[in-house]
Amino acid sequence: MNKKKKNVKELTEEFTEDEKKGFYKAIYSRRDVRSHFTSKTIKDDILSRILNAAHHAPSVGFSQPWNFILIKDINTKIKVKKSFEEEKIHSSELVEEPKRSKYLSFKLEGILESPINLCVTYDPSRFGPFVIGRSSIPEAGLYSVCCAIQNLWLAARTEGIGVGWVSILSNDKLKNILELPDHVIPIAYLCLGYVDEFALKPDLEIAGWLSRLDLKDVIFFEKWNIKESVDWSKIQDLIKTDFDTLK
């Protein structure tokens, strides 16, 4: 069998139990990583694989409106870190004690420690102005970029690479630092690197800041806020069971 035929066969066949297991392992062990970065270099073939996974996300009207700016220049990282520090102080003024001190004590980024920083951007002009599926809901272009980010995040996890998303930043400063054109929007600033540990739960859950909601609390039936429905009785019972894989 030639390579293409083999690839087609593999991609179209049903997932085996082992393949599913691999997939769900990525979903449940992915973390937002802010520490534990090691000095191990990310090889270029692995980085390419992660970026290619991102590039194969769905996009509205197949517009592929994303760009990935790879960063290792320490001068850029220092400028971004400065913006983080400013925004962190600024945002802490919005929260009262004792939560404020707790918030300020959290480690919320690994900009300097991670070997690679990556800015993912949205270019609304890509293949435009008419993009199928973007006329009624213009934000759909943004949503595509987020799907690409999630692909990238999960792919990195399977490779043993941690990703941290820094959203405590000034987008105006970021645009300036990375010389983005006016019409391009930075969506995510990510820190990538091997880590010596993926925590079993999100940092903010471990720290007692917030708890994970029960699955049953985020699912409604037919309309907003309907939690009981005779037409959905079986799944209603199922989602009441504990879905936490670590209990």
Alpha helices, DSSP H, located in 16-161: 17-29, 44-55, 74-92, 99-105, 140-158
**For residues 54-73, which are near a second copy according to CB under 8 A?**
55-58, 60-64, 66-73
Report the length, in residues, of the chain.
Answer: 247
Burial class (CB in 10 A: 0-12, 13-18, 19+), 141: buried
> Does the protein bind a second copy through residue 9 (CB under 8 A)?
no
The correct pick among 74, 89, 137, 196 for binding a second copy (CB under 8 A) is: 137
Given 41, 101, 125, 135, the residue binding a second copy (CB under 8 A)? 135
Is 217 exposed, middle or buried, given 0-12, 13-18 or 19+ CB atoms closer than 10 A? Answer: exposed
Kindly state the helix (H) or strand (E) to which residue 69 belongs, with its residue range: strand 66-71
Least distance (Å) between residue 204 CB and a second copy: 4
**Residue 20 binds to a second copy (criterion: CB under 8 A):** yes
Nearest distance, CB of residue 113 and a second copy, angstroms? 18
Question: Which residue's CB is nearer to a second copy, number 180 or number 191?
Answer: 180
Q: Which parts of 88-127 interact with a second copy (CB under 8 A)?
A: 90-91, 94-95, 99, 103, 106, 108, 121, 127
Please give the biggest Cα pair distance in the chain.
66
Query: Applying CB under 8 A, does 35 fall inside the site for a second copy?
Result: no
Q: Which is nearer to a second copy, 37 or 68 (CB)?
A: 68
Using DSSP, state whether 119 is helix, strand or coil. strand
Cβ pair 84, 168 in contact under 8 A:
yes
> Site residues for a second copy, window 152-211 (CB under 8 A)?
153-155, 158-160, 165, 167-171, 178-181, 184, 187-188, 197-198, 200, 202, 204-205, 209-210
In the complex with a second copy, the residue whose CB is nearer, 39 or 208, is 208
Work out whether strand 66-71 and strand 161-165 pair parallel, antiparallel, or are unpaired. unpaired
Q: Which token pair is 187? A: 């969506």
In degrees, rounded to 5, the angle at the alpha carbon of residue 182 between the alpha carbons of residues 180 and 187 is: 60
Number of residues that bind a second copy (CB under 8 A): 125
Instruction: Name the β-bridge partners of 116.
Output: 192
Closest approach of a second copy to the CB of residue 186, in Å: 9
State in angstroms the smallest separation of the CB of 125 from a second copy.
13
Q: Does 74 bind a second copy (CB under 8 A)?
A: no
Shortest distance (Å) from residue 230 CB to a second copy: 12
User: Does residue 242 bind a second copy (CB under 8 A)?
Assistant: no
Can residue 25 be called a binding residue for a second copy (CB under 8 A)? Answer: yes
Q: Is 41 in the site for a second copy (CB under 8 A)?
A: no
H/E stretch holding 68 reads: strand 66-71
